[in-house]
Amino acid sequence: MSAAVRNLRIGLIPGDGIGKEVLTSGRQVLEALQSPSLKFSFLPLSAGWGTFKSTGTALPDSTVDALKAECDAALFGAVSSPSTKVPGYTSPIVALRKKMDLYANVRPVKSVRGVKGPQVDMVIVRENTEDLYVKEERSYDTPEGKVAEAIKRISEKASRRIGKIAFEIAVQRAQVRAANRSEHPTGPMVTITHKSNVLSQSDGLFRESVRAVFDADRTGKGLYSKVNLEEQIVDSMVYKLFRNPEHYDVVVAPNLYGDILSDGAAALVGSLGLVPSANVGDGFVIGEPCHGSAPDIEGLGIANPVATIRSVGTMLEFMGLGEQAARIYQAVDANLEEGKTLSPDLGGKAKTEEVVQDILRRL
């Protein structure tokens, strides 16, 4: 009897700027991974600033409906956002995370072996649905001038589930290291980042809720028994992240802090063009490179495709395709370690397609 074929449909949302260029590389990699038992098909979808200018909405309902009804996962390219307020416009990726309940933004940050600098190997797990990103703001006039206010919302439910996925990632990373006979300097560890010394109710609830997941496990199944737990106030976390990045394994943070920390951590490995992410929910995942739309290099064919290709790997991991993800990571690492076919942001001269072809060859 022949083995069952797994047919997966991937939504492709290029967005704006270089998103259109790098998303093609993600599709090429998925096509190269196909086998008699694994097939991919693709559904082009629209979202972004360009979509807003042409249709009046940055995230059409048809895109969300198609993701829910027709797709197993998706890849998102990049999005441009106006620097000033535009009536009716809101970030489509932020809205998409909420509408699809993609509550975790998972960002692996890893340095390349043999490259000079700190040896970084961490995952930043960012709560994806609340905090200041609920975008509930108001402004009003006072005798002393205008005042603007923004709601920071932290819930026990969201904090507990982001804590759970952080601990699960720490356990999984430890298992992979054990299989590869390697170690992390601190062993499996989760670092809770917060500012509860000032924001005792909101950040305090985040801290308490994540710790409660850990404490409940110790009296239950004990899945996290080998995971170390520590805390860092966010300002000292930034200092220590740059002073001693080798220390960190899994960092879990509310939405805003996680956003800032993950972009900052990208500087430790050379470029945002290297850093992938996945927006993860209980039944869906969207791979998304961490870089922006980079309009200054749009159309030049020099965008770094590595973050997108690694995002394909991260997406596949959360789809249960760890073997295919590992092949992607190995091919990308080999390209970077050799250093002969690099994009300009990494000091090379290769075009986007040249980098892609080198990685495909290694697959």
Nearest CA to 233 out of 186, 260, 198, 281 is that of 198
Q: Is the pLDDT of residue 186 over 90?
A: no
Split into its structural domains, the chain has a count of 1
State mean pLDDT over 92-106.
93
Q: Is the pLDDT of residue 229 over 90?
A: yes
Q: What pLDDT is recorded for position 1? A: 47
Q: Is the pLDDT of residue 174 over 80?
A: yes
Among left, alpha and beta (phi > 0; psi -120 to 50; other), residue 225 is alpha
Q: What token pair was written down for 117?
A: 């600098």
Pick 267 or 303 by higher pLDDT: 303
- Kindly state whether residue 220 falls inside one of the protein's structural domains: no
Range among 40-44, 222-226, 339-343 with highest mean pLDDT value: 40-44
CATH for 68 = 3.40.718.10
Q: Is the pLDDT of residue 176 over 90?
A: no
Look over the chain and give the mean of its residue pLDDT values, rounded to a whole number.
92
State mean pLDDT over 287-291.
91
Nearest CA to 30 out of 325, 352, 300 is that of 325
Sheet containing 38-44: give its strands across. 38-44, 6-15, 73-78, 285-287, 278-280, 104-110, 121-127, 250-253, 189-194, 228-233
User: Cα-flanking dihedrals φ and ψ of residue 19, to 5°?
Assistant: -55, -35
Q: What pLDDT is recorded for position 32? A: 97
d(CA 363, CA 361): 5
Q: What pLDDT is recorded for position 227? A: 94
Per-residue pLDDT of 304-322, as tens digits, reads 999 999 999 999 999 999 8
- Kindly state whether residue 29 falls inside one of the protein's structural domains: yes
Neighbours of 107 (CB within 10 A): 25
- Kindly state whether residue 254 falls inside one of the protein's structural domains: no
Pick 117 or 134 by higher pLDDT: 134
- Kindly state whether residue 275 falls inside one of the protein's structural domains: no
Q: Which residues 6+ apart lie within 8 Å of 223 measured at CB? A: 167, 168, 171, 217
Range among 90-94, 198-202, 295-299 with highest mean pLDDT value: 198-202
- Kindly state whether residue 157 falls inside one of the protein's structural domains: no
Q: Which residues 6+ apart lie within 8 Å of 81 measured at CB? A: 49, 89, 91
Give the rounded percent of residues in the chain with a pLDDT score beyond 70: 98
Which residues, listed in sequence order, are joined to residue 287 by a DSSP beta bridge?
Answer: 75, 278
For residue 146, give the 3-state DSSP assignment: strand
State mean pLDDT over 107-124.
82
Pairing of strands 250-253, 228-233: unpaired
At 251, is the pLDDT very low, low, confident or very high (cuts 50, 70, 90)?
Answer: very high
Look up the pTM and report it.
Answer: 0.90
- Kindly state whether residue 285 falls inside one of the protein's structural domains: yes
d(CA 25, CA 17): 15
- Kindly state whether residue 197 falls inside one of the protein's structural domains: no
Q: What pLDDT is recorded for position 258? A: 95
Amino acid identity for residue 289 in this structure: P
Q: Is the pLDDT of residue 132 over 90?
A: yes
Which structural domain range is residue 39 located in? 6-102+281-362
- Kindly state whether residue 247 falls inside one of the protein's structural domains: no
Q: What pLDDT is recorded for position 118? A: 74
Q: Is the pLDDT of residue 58 over 90?
A: yes
- Tokens 């290029």 label which residue? 14
